[in-house]
Amino acid sequence: MTEKIDVLAGLVAAGGVVVLSGAGLSTESGIPDYRGPSGVARRHTPMTYQTFTRDADARRRYWARSHLGWRMIARAAPNDGHRAVARLQHAGLVDAVITQNVDGLHTAAGSPDVVELHGRLDEVVCLDCGNRTSREELDRRLRQANPDFAAAVTAVNPDGDVDLADAAVARFRVVDCGFCRTGMLKPDVVFFGETVPAPRVAHCFALVERARSVLVLGSSLTVMSGRRFVLRAAKRDIPVVIVNQGATRGDGYAAVTVDAPLGRLLPALADRVAGTPAGVLS
């Protein structure tokens, strides 16, 4: 392990790092992942874009679950791993952060110009008129439309929803766009069956191709959405380091893999290579 940490530290100390983060980085903020050691089993079929837009009952189910789950996401705070990444950026060693997460915690930790590959849960878009609003505003409107809606929530899923009984879902009222009054609202995140906007993908490829190394943090790289950047780095002979609890689908392309808790490893790494005392950046 010591030899692996030395390789990791050497690559980060050289600068030009592009970070690719996944759900495993946010588990210590109370947001579980689906595949890691603290993950939760998916108990229902993930919402697809096609189902969301075509099925009013499915939209009601999504918004009812997400309405309660969002409250837990909104209360989540950056953890030591997020703050360590921000420290490495401010020290000039990390050039860019690409995150597969939709929780906004990199930005909350002080990281500038984060590329949020799959969007953010705290923003809402109207699919008809294109108007964008904050999730806080939508939450206020949903509370007004559902004053007596409540259910016990013990855990939130990584994509920001919770599991609810059908009887609870049936009582929930969905609201339309507050701007055009009739438009369908959707969280500004990429659903299953929906593609990441091409300009965003091209920007991420460009960041990877300019990097000296790619540092994967807390991602199993199961889906191609994130794994393609590891494949591109490997094709260009750009070293890839993967820090994750458990094996990933990118391990075969990595110069080194480290199995360790991110909340402990990343602050120690930042102390070692950035020379910035913990807690200076928030």
Query: Per the annotation, does 69 bind a ligand?
Result: no
Q: Are 153 and 144 in contact (CB under 8 A)?
A: no
Query: Per the annotation, does 101 bind a ligand?
Result: yes
Q: Decide if 203 is catalytic.
A: no
Query: Per the annotation, does 103 bind a ligand?
Result: yes
Query: Per the annotation, does 100 bind a ligand?
Result: yes
Query: Per the annotation, does 92 bind a ligand?
Result: no
Closest CA to 122 of 144, 103, 105: 103
Query: Per the annotation, does 213 bind a ligand?
Result: no
User: Distance between alpha carbon 114 and the CA centroid of its chain, in Å?
Assistant: 11
Query: Per the annotation, does 244 bind a ligand?
Result: yes
Query: Per the annotation, does 204 bind a ligand?
Result: no
Calculate ∠ Cα 88-89-90, nearest 5°: 95
Query: Per the annotation, does 50 bind a ligand?
Result: no
User: Which of 67, 106, 118, 203 does the annotation list as catalytic?
Assistant: 118
Query: Per the annotation, does 177 bind a ligand?
Result: yes
Query: Per the annotation, does 180 bind a ligand?
Result: yes
What order of strands is seen across the sheet that includes strand 256-258?
115-116, 94-99, 17-21, 213-217, 240-243, 256-258
Q: Are 73 and 156 in contact (CB under 8 A)?
A: yes
C-alpha torsion 42→48→52→53, nearest 10: 180
Query: Per the annotation, does 24 bind a ligand?
Result: no
State the Cα–Cα distance between residues 254 and 220, nearest whole angstrom.
13
What is the identity of the amino acid at 272?
Answer: R
Q: Are 156 and 31 in contact (CB under 8 A)?
A: yes
Q: Are 248 and 231 in contact (CB under 8 A)?
A: no
Q: Which residues are annotated as a binding site for NAD(+)?
A: 100-103, 218-220, 244-246, 262
| Residues designated catalytic | 118
Which residues are annotated as part of the binding site?
100-103, 126, 129, 177, 180, 218-220, 244-246, 262
Q: Which residues are annotated as a binding site for Zn(2+)?
A: 126, 129, 177, 180
